[in-house]
Structure 1
Amino acid sequence: MKLFAILSLFVFFGLVAAWSKEDYEIFGLQNDVATNEGANVTFYDLLEIRPNANQEQITKAYRKKSRTIHPDKVKRAFIANYAKDKSKAKTNKGVNVNKGVNVNKGPSQREIDAAVKDADARSARLNLVANVLRGPNRERYDHFLKNGFPLWKGTGYYYSRFRPGLGSVLLGLFLVFGGGAHYAALILGWKRQREFVDRYIRQARRAAWGDETGVRGIPGIDSIAAPPPTAPESDDAGAVAVNRRQKRMMDKENKKDKKDKKGGARVSAASGTSTPTEQTASTGERKRVVAENGKTLIVDSIGNVFLEELNEAGERQEFLLDIDQIERPTLRETMVCKLPAWCFKKTVGRVLGTSTEEVDSDEAEEPLVEEAETTATSNSRSRKRGKRSQRS
């Protein structure tokens, strides 16, 4: 039943979209007028009237035009003008017409028949045009005149559609796949990443406290007390003046801390896991669990989940797991924005030069200066020691 309804719908649209018999007559007559009278000649141009002419003006123009192209009148005019046309042609060629006996021959019967045949065709064409403009098909003709006439293409009349070139096709594919499809893939990956971290946090809480809400379990069972804060060690080297490299590193660390505080201050309205984001350090009792993939996780008493990893120096570091810290991808991360930026950087950016290259060169020169200063200081100290030993 459903298939029958779909087929009936297609048939209905096919019947609606098909041209009528009157439309085919208008198309054929328009092609005939364009072929014999001119490419841009319309029915109104043939009658020498305006498109907004009324029926009385159309009838008057038709009668005037029909008297001009009537076959009998065309035949007489053709025979009368034939001799004049011949004499004009000879004069243009430089032949003296008055020299000797001049005998003007009339047109042959074949030429007369051709002229009459052409007049009959023009008269019949004029009658059809007048019938269209004076009948109910004038509105249909005005519609096609305004929106364009379809062209004959072997099996019927069809409109000429836009055919994009290779450049347009490639540009369209780049916008569709590099923009829409790439953005959809980024959103899908972002959602899957959030689901993975959310499931990770729930499993860690369930394994640690037996509940996904993060309520701590029985204290003292496989728990790790939070290490007390260590007092800062006094170092005699603290009084040494900070060199340029250390100062630059301290400034970078301060900037990173400010960015981390701004990123951690964003809290989701409804995360579904009660994941705290304001506190980044573990509080209260903690419990270490092992995830399915072998990663070590630490869950504190309020439900914070931390990922424990070893850095290059062999020190243990803890990273807070929070789905709200996973940033949503934007359109700037798609190929539509990244590829033009990359091309600009590789072409125009190299010519104009960027400030980052200058900063990198300055940073590369600073260690050399510091090494030279250190070497000079050590050399001066060794010289002073040598002088003291000589005095002693």
Structure 2
Amino acid sequence: MARVLVAASGGVAALKTPHLLRLLRARGHEVRALATRRALEFVTPLSLAVAAGGEVATEEAWFQPTGRALHIDLARWAEVVLVAPATADALAKAALGLADDLLSATLLAGAKRVAWAPAMNEAMWLAPQTQGHVERLKALGHAFFGPAYGPLAAVGEGEGWGRMLEPEELVERLDGFLTPKDLGGLRLLVSAGPTREYLDPVRFLSNPSSGRMGYAVAEAARDRGAEVVLVSGPTALPDPWGVEVVRVESALEMRQAILERYAWADAVVMAAAVADYRPAEVLKEKEPKVEAERLLRLVPNPDILKELGERKGQKVLVGFAMETGEGLERARGKLLRKNLDFIVLNWVNREGVGFASPENEVVLVFRDGRVEEVSRRPKRQVADRILDHVKALWAS
């Protein structure tokens, strides 16, 4: 976790800054708040102080006769400054090296890392002057989170580019910005979620997979610097930022998407719960309900993981094994049959770690006979442990 100075400049999106501060604290970061004079026309010092858990750095505090240089103290304390919202004026001052308010002076005083969450009218964001300032700041190593496309604050402006990212996404972006890029150069292909095998236009066979584990792997790899393609079955999860997402439904569609991108990848993590069977016949029209018993004939789907293993070469290949019992020997057999580097064994019937759970506990089984137990923890942490082993194999 990091020491984060959240600086609000003067835009209506400053109303969201207290929520951002609370989310950062909940994530474990140590935070302080800074507000320009214009920002305090939209949000009160009290709301910022309560959210930050401490005093707010303001223009008034800057000029108190304490003998201290508040902007110097803030720049030295912060491991990262997140300007949210970031107005066109704040960007311009920083790009030009001005220091006529507390925010610009703090940035000029040697702030270690700086990230901006722009919030302004689309015309202002797209103006050549603003884009020039953005490029200047990027050249100095500053990061930009957004802006997003959506409803603009001014009456009658409709939608456009310039809306500040929501606090939840800003927290995710900041964590990614702070994460060491130890997977830089890795091209990772990840599968996630269930597949659907249609009986007719409205009925299908599927499973309860939420896709959370595969998405966690994709997001963790992205934050660690990898280039990631995520092939996802139907889920309720939003597309992760910074990841190429390919949406599919059936096992056959997933197979095609995976094989088309397999040559590109250095490593593959197959976390999807792919259906083993599909209906032998798919009806073009919905079949009316009848009281009589109906028999359904199924045919096997292609074994995608086995196909990948047959073409493995020097790639790192990771599979998953979902079991209801111990399953260690079955997982080891699957590992060898499908030519995997290691397999992730987890259980569908253990309370708190089954389908759709935010947590997981797994056993990693390796080709050389090693077994590593990963105790119950958030799926993002499980993903990082999987990626630690992918990194070691990729680098070897």
Q: Same fold per TM (> 0.5)?
A: no
Which structure has the higher relative contact order (CA within 8 Å, separation 6+)?
Answer: 1
In proportion to residue count, which structure has more strand? 2
Greater share of residues in helix = 1
TM-score (norm 2): 0.16
